[in-house]
Amino acid sequence: MTGGEGQGVLVVQGSLHLTAGARYFGVVLASGDVIVDQGSRLDGFVRAAGSVVIGATSGVSGSACAGLLALGAAPLRSVIPVPAGWVDPF
């Protein structure tokens, strides 16, 4: 994710790289690494099967408020299959 902002529940098959001042609020689940650098920020919950790397000018803030808002924003009514299928990284 290069720049910009996002909010919600983000499930990543592989690694997530936030760069160029990107901001994300909510829950991130990644089957690889989560890398936050170049002034980027992540507020909420992070679960990574790999490592979480935070650059010197970046930050990750554990935020129950951001995480709960993301989880409560759109109730899950059903499972929606995606072309790549579901992979349980944990």
15, 68, 66, 20: which is closest to 43 by C-alpha?
A: 66
For residue 64, the model assigns a pLDDT of: 74
Q: Where do the structural domains in the chain lie, given as residue ranges?
A: 5-67
The residues, ordered by sequence, that sit 6+ positions from 66 with a Cβ below 8 Å of its Cβ are 7, 25, 26, 43, 44, 45
pTM: predicted TM-score of the whole model, two decimal places: 0.73
Judge contact between 73 and 55, C-beta under 8 A.
Answer: no
The total of other beta-carbon atoms located within 10 Å of residue 39's CB is 17
Model confidence at 89, pLDDT cuts 50, 70, 90, reads: very low
For the segment 4-63, what is each residue's pLDDT rounded down to a tens digit?
Answer: 998 888 888 899 999 999 999 888 889 999 999 999 999 888 889 999 999 999 988 887
